[in-house]
Amino acid sequence: MSSAAVLGPTLDFLTELAGDGRALEFAIGTGRVGVPLRERGVPVMGIELSEHMAKVLRRKIDEDALPVVVGDMATTVVPGEFTLVYLVYNTIGNLLTQDEQVECFRNAARHLRPGGRFVIEVGVPSLRLLPPGQVAVPFDVSERHLGFDTFDLVEQTLVSHHVTREDGGGYRRDSSRHRYAWPAELDLMARIAGLELEHRVADWDGAPFTQDSAKHISVWRKPT
C-alpha cells in the first residue's frame, strides 16, 4: 500500500483537489498518505483515534510540519478551514452505525470552506458474490494469507478475517468489524451534510465507475 505504484495516483488525485489550500485527513493513521502529500507541498493536518498510530507518524515528521489531533473523526473539530477533507482505504467502515457515518460527513462539511471537497475511498460491498445460503466471501487466497469477509445482512456489517502464515511456520489470526454502505447511501449522507456529489471513479487513476467496480473514489463538494 506504500509503494509508488499505489501512492503515486493517490497523491496526484488529492494534490489536484487541494490546489493551493489546506488538506485534512480523517483517520490519518501512521501517515502513509498524509506524510508524502505534505512533502508535495500540500499543508496537511490529521485526526487520528489511535494514540499509538499517531506516535508512529510523529517519528516520520515533526508536529509543526503535520499537526495531528487525537480524536474521533466523526466529532473532533480542528481549527481553520480546508479545501480538502479525505478518508482513504475503507476507513469510513470503522464507524459501525449509520448515525456515526452521517456525523462523519457532517464533520467533513464543518471543516470545508465553500467549494471544498470531501473524498472517500471505499470498497463496494461484495454481496453479489454470496452464493445462496452462505455468508462468507474470500478476498485473498495466497500462499501466506487467507482473507475472507463474513456478512450480517440484517445489521449491514461485515467481519474481515485474516489468517497469516508466519516465518516460523505458525499462523496468526486477526479480524476486524466494519459497517458497509452502498454508494447511494453515502450520497444521501452527503446530502444530509449539505454536500453534493461531484464525481465518482473506480480508482485513483480515474477509471470509470461501473456495476462491476470493486471500489470507488467519491468526491462531494460543499456549495459556494
- C-alpha cell at position 99: 448515525
pLDDT value at residue 4: 76
Is residue 38 packed enough to be buried (19+ CB in 10 Å), middle (13-18) or exposed (0-12)? buried
**Confidence (pLDDT) at 133:** 87
196-202 average pLDDT score: 98
Q: Is the pLDDT of residue 26 over 90?
A: yes
Task: Sort residue 114 into left (φ over 0), alpha (ψ -120 to 50) or beta.
Answer: beta
Q: What's the whole-number mean pLDDT along residues 178-203? A: 97
pLDDT for 87 beyond 80: yes
Instruction: State percent of the chain over pLDDT 70.
Output: 99
- Sign of the CA dihedral with 1 first, then 23, 114, and 179 last: positive
At residue 205, the pLDDT reads 96
Average pLDDT rounded to a whole number, residues 61-81: 96
Q: In this predicted structure, what is the pLDDT of residue 6?
A: 83
What is the chain's mean pLDDT, rounded? 95
Give yes or no for a contact between 61 and 35, defined as CB atoms under 8 angstroms apart.
Answer: yes
Q: Which pLDDT tens digit goes with each residue over 98-143?
A: 999 999 999 999 999 999 999 999 999 999 888 888 899 999 999 9
Residue 98 and residue 74 in contact, taking contact as beta carbons nearer than 8 Å: no
